[in-house]
Amino acid sequence: MAIQLEQQDTGSTVYQVTEDSLSKSNIYCEVPYCSADSRYFVFTQTNPKHETNRTEYVICELGTWEMQVGRRGIGGPAITHSGMFYFLRATGPSSGTTATPTRELVKLNLATGESEVVHAFPEGLQPRSLGTVSPDGRFYAFGVTTDKKFKEFGIELVNLETGAREIIDRDPYILNPHPQFEPSEGKQLMIQHNRGGQLDETGKLIRLVGEEGATLYLLDIANGKRTTLQVGKPYTTPATGHEAWIGDTNEILLTVSASGDFASENGNLLAVRAGQPARVVSRGYRFSHVGTSVCGRFFSCDDGATGDVVIGSNCTGKNAVVCHSESSFGRAQNTHPHPYLTPDLKWVIFNSDRSGEPQIHAATVPEGMIEKLEIF
């Protein structure tokens, strides 16, 4: 049962959904990890009692806070707006062997709890990113390491109907690609390009980006064609690496470094589409991680200066604080709020270590807040 913490000065009621000591995360905020009807959401926790597949995917019912461990895996999570959740699971070899484990891709229906294996991978797979699934559920894409010395990386595309696999893009700087399918037609992937990033020959990170900073590009899944986007140097300050598609608009929401022409008062929350300069979406906060609502009308962000959870309109630019997360923004990713809106726009799910260790939280969106954001 969730702990009702308080009703904040914003009008939001904040609940601490978990309280045990297992390491937890709401996964991320680029897409809502929810069933289509907003009844359920899924989060991860690491359980060291398991020898393999230590990541538990926990399905939680909003409001009742009843939970069940849906399944266990090792990463690569992805979700469609219909609430089909995908993740990688290790399969064999048996304990005590030195062979590389094989992996399979599992589809989990958040509404029913039913799951099925949709693809089996051979040995040697080296995934290195969140996954993403096309809106029709036909394709799964993710980042991979393509050489043993960690000098080149790729984007692998899996056809879940035929089982065909293909690396459709290669580059030394897509070491943290955050691939995301465009959510209406699913013909393009958004890719994060960490220019100047480098790993050593053991896979240890030397630097995430170089002087060039990060940018984004689009990747056609049919032919591997790249389309550059006008964000990051020389167009804007460097992209932070936090981005999400805005519904079916073919625009992408992202944050850039909050400095110079893109300081908080000028706006570091941008939207960009192919062939056009980026536009400022909203101002007044040091926007960090971003998410967009399923409908595409709204954004959710955490403020890197205060930890506040902010939502706003992608059209009017108006914004409002839903709640004060009291997250520390420490080195661990689950100390960052990473807030996302549920599809019905009634809740924000986020991380907070306000209790001393990271836990999953949910906050109500105050009555009338959504409607006010859309008034010009």
DSSP 208-259: S--TTEEEEEEEETTT--EEE-B-STTTSSPEEEEEEEETTTTEEEEEE-SS
Using CA atoms, how far apart are residues 79 and 43, in angstroms rounded to an integer? 12
The one-character DSSP state at 112 is T
Q: How far is CA 140 from CA 66, 84, 130, 180, 228, in A?
A: 30, 12, 11, 10, 22
Q: How far is CA 274 from CA 151, 246, 249, 277, 359, in A?
A: 29, 13, 11, 8, 38
Is residue 321 within 8 Å of 11, Cβ to Cβ?
no
What Rg value do the Cα atoms of the chain yield, rounded?
20
Neighbouring C-beta atoms of residue 192, cutoff 10 Å: 26
pLDDT at position 95, please? 46
Angle, alpha carbons 37-369-18 (nearest 5°): 55
Tens digit of pLDDT per residue, the chain (376 long)?
678 878 999 999 999 999 999 999 999 989 999 999 999 999 999 999 998 999 999 999 999 999 999 899 999 999 999 999 999 999 976 444 555 678 999 999 999 999 999 999 987 788 888 999 999 999 999 999 999 899 999 999 999 999 999 999 999 999 999 999 999 999 999 999 999 999 999 999 999 999 999 999 999 999 999 999 999 999 999 999 999 999 999 999 999 999 999 999 999 999 999 999 999 999 999 999 999 999 999 999 999 999 999 999 999 999 999 999 999 999 999 999 999 999 999 999 999 999 999 999 999 999 999 999 999 7
Is residue 85 within 8 Å of 79, Cβ to Cβ?
yes
State if pTM tops 0.85: yes
Domain of 148 in residue numbering reads as 3-373
Using CA atoms, how far apart are residues 179 and 143, in angstroms rounded to an integer? 7
Return the CATH number at 127.
2.130.10.10
**pLDDT, tens digit, 9 for 90 and up, residues 302-360:** 999 999 999 999 999 999 999 999 999 999 999 999 999 999 999 999 999 999 999 99
Q: How far is CA 301 from CA 98, 254, 350, in A?
A: 43, 10, 10
**pLDDT, tens digit, 9 for 90 and up, residues 131-173:** 999 999 999 999 999 998 999 999 999 999 999 999 999 999 9
Structure tokens at 334: 């689950």
Q: How far is CA 339 from the centre of its chain?
A: 10
Longest CA–CA separation in the chain, Å:
64
Q: How far is CA 58 from the centre of its chain?
A: 17
Number of domains in the chain: 1
